[in-house]
Structure 1
Amino acid sequence: MSSFYYTYILESQKDGNWYTGFTQDLQSRFERHQAGKVSSTKHRRPFKLIYFEGCRNRQDAINREKYLKTHYGKMFVKRRLKSYFTGQEDNDH
């Protein structure tokens, strides 16, 4: 199987703000964030991984990251994770 690039969103448990990024190795990148090895997020730890998507190539992941950082991208994620943010279960399935 060929590799994927992942666009992801972390939620800071310290201040509630989001960090959006992309990587080829999601687990390793998340561990680096948690360990304080990413300079842009080291003072916002700990994190919860709240969302990720897989893309087939790097440029698609970069474009998706840029979109998810926009107002409309954040609205998309909030709608997509409505149950998570409201604490409600989806009983339709």
Structure 2
Amino acid sequence: MPAEALAKEGYIGMHYVYFLQSVAFPDQYYTGLTKDVQARLADHNAGKSKHTAKYKPWQLVSSHYFVSEEVALAFEKYLKTGSGRAFAKKRLR
């Protein structure tokens, strides 16, 4: 079910794990967690994150929504491991 439909059904606590790629440095990727993907992307592109400011601008590669914050945190943590990065390279880019 699309995120918009879930929100209409009362699932207001959506948590997104997002995957960004630097436009200027295409080999640079960033994985994060947020409740508002578009606002967070704007923050990254405005240089508000010290981890991503030097590689801006960024483009959204994918985002994945979760109702459970715990599951979203676990997925984000996994994507930041060696096997998670390999998974992302193969499946999310």
Q: Same fold (TM over 0.5)?
A: yes
Partner of 1:9: 19
Q: How many residues align?
A: 82
**CA–CA separation in structure 2 for the residues paired with 1:67 and 1:33:** 21
1:33 is displaced (CA, Å) by 0.6
**CA–CA separation in structure 1 for the residues paired with 2:50 and 2:82:** 24
Match status 1:54 vs 2:65: yes
**CA–CA separation in structure 1 for the residues paired with 2:40 and 2:55:** 15
Misfit runs of 4+, over 4 Å: none
- Structure 1 unaligned regions, length at least 5: 85-93
Partner of 2:4: none
State the identity as a percent: 37
Match status 1:36 vs 2:47: yes
Task: With the length of structure 1 as denominator, give the TM-score of the two structures.
Answer: 0.78
**Which string of whole-angstrom CA distances, capped at 9 and with x for unpartnered residues, describes residues 32-60 of structure 1?**
11111122211110111112111112121
**CA–CA separation in structure 2 for the residues paired with 1:40 and 1:73:** 19
Task: With the length of structure 2 as denominator, give the TM-score of the two structures.
Answer: 0.78
C-alpha RMSD of the superposition: 1.4
